[in-house]
Amino acid sequence: MRALMAVLLAAVLVMAYGSGGPAATAGAPEMKNLEHGTMSYWRDVKFTPDTTDPTGKRGRWAGWFHQDVVDASKLKDGVIRGKIDGQWLDLKVVSLPDDFCKWNFEKRQEQLRFIAKMMAMPEGAMGGMMKPEVSGPHNAMVASHGMKRKDSDFDINNAVKGTGWLPTQEKLPEMLALLKSTWDDSMQKKLALLESLYTKATDVYDRTKQASLELYSQPNFETHSFLNQMVDPGVAVVYLDLPKSYELRCVAQMLHPDDPGLSEYEKQVVEYINLVHDYFHGQSPRKSIGVIYHVVQVFDNSPGRMRGQRVVPALP
């Protein structure tokens, strides 16, 4: 019986966090890696050991957080509140301009058609043609600041994030149902469905937002962008697809799937961002942190005439 109790107790080890970082309870592997901030935001942290690992170092970490520097309670009035540079600001969300939307949706359709064409070719015929495209509407460079990570001399960070569109609140349940009902379809059918959605994008997607996943941050490893956005949610999101380049100034709202304080809408947002990611990339082993980039300003960074001028809101 004692042996059984020992096994059960070892199955889930709980960590207690303080302002100086994680402090492991007996039996949990010590986290010596520097990919952490000067304080931790994680709650109910648990470590479940991998029973096949005799060292006890491998296993699964779990926990959740709530981002206290963003207040979305006024979104129905078109306002997102964020603690920017240490001060709470009420910022009016803006719609992405027609030029950005036209470029974004048309480029996405073009990329989906290219992928479908490559997949239809005989095996081995693609050669070096199927290479990831860094430029375009999917990959955004997200600049943030706020907290030094323990491995950094600076609090500034820039990271490339995969981004996409979020359906309007009214369309969100319908889109969730659509993706679930076609989950087992062939990839060719899935690509055709995604392309069709972008052809009627203005009827489906929320033009005041972009969305992403914070894929890698967990209690045992925190990205610098995660730490920065926990302190200061003001970010610059840059797209480059020459001759086009856009910079979105946004308030980044991070939503952990296990946060008990999420609204019903926020739960659906996290589910959708994970689902649409896995719809294309394949089933993930766990749900990741959802990120909404609430757009408050837009700059046209295209070389030539614009060169970084603000286009939304329009200059006086």
Instruction: Count other C-beta atoms under 10 Å from residue 226's C-beta.
Output: 27
Are 219 and 249 in the same domain?
Answer: yes
Query: How confident is the model over 62-82, as pLDDT tens digits?
Result: 999 999 999 999 999 999 999
Are 160 and 11 in the same domain?
Answer: no
Whether 304 has a pLDDT exceeding 70, the answer reads yes
pLDDT number for residue 15: 34
Domain's final residue, options 20, 45, 64: 64
Whether 3 has a pLDDT exceeding 50, the answer reads no
Are 59 and 162 in the same domain?
Answer: no
Domain's final residue, options 11, 42, 64: 64
Are 42 and 164 in the same domain?
Answer: no
Contacts of 309 (CB under 8 A, 6+ apart): 299, 300, 315
pLDDT greater at residue 304 or residue 151: 151
Are 123 and 20 in the same domain?
Answer: no
Specify which of 46-50, 87-91, 118-122 reaches the highest per-range mean pLDDT: 87-91
Count structural domains, the chain: 2
**Distance separating alpha carbons of residues 117 and 169, to the nearest angstrom:** 33
Domain's final residue, options 22, 41, 64: 64
pLDDT number for residue 229: 98
Are 206 and 288 in the same domain?
Answer: yes
pLDDT number for residue 37: 93
Range of weakest confidence among 48-57, 181-190, 294-303: 48-57
Are 85 and 193 in the same domain?
Answer: yes
pLDDT number for residue 200: 87
Are 60 and 97 in the same domain?
Answer: no
Identify the domain containing residue 50 by its residue range.
2-64
Query: How confident is the model over 176-221, as pLDDT tens digits?
Result: 999 999 999 999 999 999 999 999 888 899 999 999 999 999 999 9
Instruction: Give, in order, the Cα–Cα distances in Å from 32 to each of 23, 150, 155, 191, 214.
Output: 11, 11, 20, 43, 22
Are 168 and 227 in the same domain?
Answer: yes
Query: How confident is the model over 252-295, as pLDDT tens digits?
Result: 999 999 999 999 999 999 999 999 999 989 999 899 999 999 99
With beta carbons less than 8 A apart as the criterion, state whether 94 and 206 touch.
no
Calculate mean pLDDT across residues 93-105: 97
pLDDT greater at residue 14 or residue 36: 36
Q: What is the CATH number of the domain that holds 284?
A: 2.30.110.10
Are 248 and 286 in the same domain?
Answer: yes
Are 23 and 127 in the same domain?
Answer: no
Instruction: Give, in order, the Cα–Cα distances in Å from 129 to each of 118, 119, 223, 259.
Output: 8, 11, 32, 42
Calculate mean pLDDT across residues 106-120: 91
Query: How confident is the model over 149-181, as pLDDT tens digits?
Result: 999 999 999 999 999 999 999 999 999 999 999
CA angle 126, 131, 133 (to 5 degrees): 140
Are 275 and 158 in the same domain?
Answer: yes
pLDDT greater at residue 145 or residue 117: 145
